[in-house]
Structure 1
């Protein structure tokens, strides 16, 4: 009685084809390996099922800035004085420009992501076309109102959102290194991640080898180092003839509006809504403290 390929496979304990063919060559003189026919074994498909990596969905447009945003949540972290436990990152795929938001609860992530999308829309007059993250069906209607399509990762396939997870790991490595080097308490993680994200946006990477994520997305290099004249409030003017403006060093623009600047005279960082932007200067930095100015 001659057996077909599937029957030999079953007789030999559902072992792999290569092993069956090798056995037949050694023990069945009349076996012709050319007669071996591929087959499908339903029993093996069920009994030997393993998790397979999902293939990336290439139909999503992602080659131009703001076409595709990826997002992921990190945490929980040690509780900080402001009550934050988590972070959510939003990254533009084409430019790799990223933003990070602290969260007090996981339920705050949809609001933070929507805020990031609205900030991109305000600054660039263009809303992202697609958002990819692990699971956030609860705010798909809010995304639809902004014209943003939602693409969730498939169940049990977090690797589909690997870009966002790689960003989180990179920012985490930078933040942890800065905290360890500075001997700061762990509850300052929020500021360490914010600093890491800011530096990432100013530095070149494999997708922006000759520029930076900031320049790729906004079309111009960061304004760090530019002179900016900031108005001095009346309460800080020592007398009527005192200058009503002070020269500061522009550090960065803020997603929430305004600019972050360095005031060398008082050696403080300040926020200003409408400074007068000048041209790049050479600055001397001796120390850093934080202050806020309207």
Structure 2
């Protein structure tokens, strides 16, 4: 984890403030939305503009919702009324300090110090935003990844873990493929690739796509996805992929495993297979298990894409962009089948 900076961020505990206000770095915001308050009037009568409204995690674990970001403000204000309502806690004030307690458990969750006539909640400021967020936020940022995957990301070790219920995960991941896990049968990148087509979807993506082509490398489990308006352009994308492998990785695809889809058995592709020395392996009719690697990858991609869309509230026609985002994420997450390395590590 990143080292901490030597100074602290002080929050004034203000019983008269109706909203949390910060003048600190906007990068600390986890979620940023347009300002719903055009300006805030300060005690001297001056009105100063609100730039944005968002939520943030303090390093001590407090999650502050609806925080006003005002760069021209001279301090950070912590609203007592908002905090007691949002965190279900109580404040008790003493001559030299104040304490925050969780109402149900009566557990001490924070301490403020009295200084120059004010009570301050002091939080060590970290150099990296990663230090101030919980596992739930990383779970959402990394495509609703499991705790097991997060545990193997070294830069996230030691962060605060929360086991909150994740509604998008439950809604998006209600089914599982019955296929058993396939062992890796190759010894180098692109010795064999698994290909399959998914679609048509019930509506066009914003780019007009109804299908997508998935290509999975057997050795690294890296995945590439191409959005398509129709299946007829499969040969174009498959040849384009093989050329990319040859140029960027100085490797040649030796075998291609697919189902019995006619899109992989066109005259154009048969001629390309012959010229390139590529062997085509097809599964038996009505036996998708024989193409299980890419079938499972489809299910993984679709589940995570649904979770991302549910979490973000994006319109349905952004499904294609969600798919591409998911592929970017899972190529960078550790996988147990490749010794908890990521496909990106294996490839580069």
Q: Calculate the TM-score normalised by the size of structure 2.
A: 0.44
- Corresponding residue for residue 234 of structure 2: 109
2:338 counterpart SS class: coil
Asked whether the 8 Å contact 2:185–2:219 carries over to 1, the reply is: no
The alpha-carbon deviation at position 81 of structure 1 amounts to 3.0
- Corresponding residue for residue 96 of structure 1: 221
The alpha-carbon deviation at position 61 of structure 1 amounts to 6.1
- The correspondence for 1:71, drawn from 195, 198, 202, is 195
1:80 counterpart SS class: coil
The alpha-carbon deviation at position 143 of structure 1 amounts to 2.4
In structure 2, what is the Cα distance between the partners aligned to 1:217 and 1:190?
25
**4+ residue runs of structure 1 moved beyond 3 angstroms?**
none
Asked whether the 8 Å contact 1:130–1:148 carries over to 2, the reply is: yes
- Corresponding residue for residue 205 of structure 2: 80
- Corresponding residue for residue 131 of structure 1: 256
* Cα deviation 1:59-79 (Å, max 9, x = unaligned): x96232211100111111111
1:90 counterpart SS class: strand
In structure 2, what is the Cα distance between the partners aligned to 1:207 and 1:63?
14
Query: Where does structure 2 lack aligned partners over 5 or more consecutive residues?
Result: 1-181
Q: Is 1:62 the equivalent of 2:186? A: yes
Alignment of 1:184-203 (within 5 A): 184-203=314-333
Asked whether the 8 Å contact 1:61–1:67 carries over to 2, the reply is: no
The alpha-carbon deviation at position 212 of structure 1 amounts to 1.0
Q: Is 1:122 the equivalent of 2:252? A: no
- Corresponding residue for residue 145 of structure 1: 275
Asked whether the 8 Å contact 2:301–2:326 carries over to 1, the reply is: yes
In structure 2, what is the Cα distance between the partners aligned to 1:81 and 1:171?
18
Q: Is 1:173 the equivalent of 2:264? A: no
Asked whether the 8 Å contact 2:212–2:227 carries over to 1, the reply is: yes
- Corresponding residue for residue 212 of structure 1: 342
1:192 counterpart SS class: helix
The alpha-carbon deviation at position 108 of structure 1 amounts to 1.4
In structure 2, what is the Cα distance between the partners aligned to 1:61 and 1:167?
17
Structure 1 residues 201 and 149: alpha-carbon distance in aligned structure 2, compared to 1, 3 A threshold: same
In structure 2, what is the Cα distance between the partners aligned to 1:168 and 1:177?
14
In structure 2, what is the Cα distance between the partners aligned to 1:167 and 1:210?
17
Asked whether the 8 Å contact 1:95–1:207 carries over to 2, the reply is: no
Asked whether the 8 Å contact 2:333–2:341 carries over to 1, the reply is: yes
In structure 1, what is the Cα distance between the partners aligned to 2:207 and 2:324?
15
RMSD: 2.6
1:207 counterpart SS class: helix
- Corresponding residue for residue 182 of structure 1: 312
Alignment of 1:146-165 (within 5 A): 146-165=276-295
* Cα deviation 1:190-238 (Å, max 9, x = unaligned): 11111111111101101223421011122xxxxxxxxxxxxxxxxxxxx
In structure 2, what is the Cα distance between the partners aligned to 1:71 and 1:92?
9
Q: Calculate the TM-score normalised by the size of structure 1.
A: 0.52
In structure 1, what is the Cα distance between the partners aligned to 2:283 and 2:256?
11
Larger radius of gyration: 1
In structure 1, what is the Cα distance between the partners aligned to 2:211 and 2:328?
18
In structure 1, what is the Cα distance between the partners aligned to 2:284 and 2:204?
31
In structure 2, what is the Cα distance between the partners aligned to 1:97 and 1:128?
14
In structure 2, what is the Cα distance between the partners aligned to 1:113 and 1:183?
33
Alignment of 1:13-32 (within 5 A): none
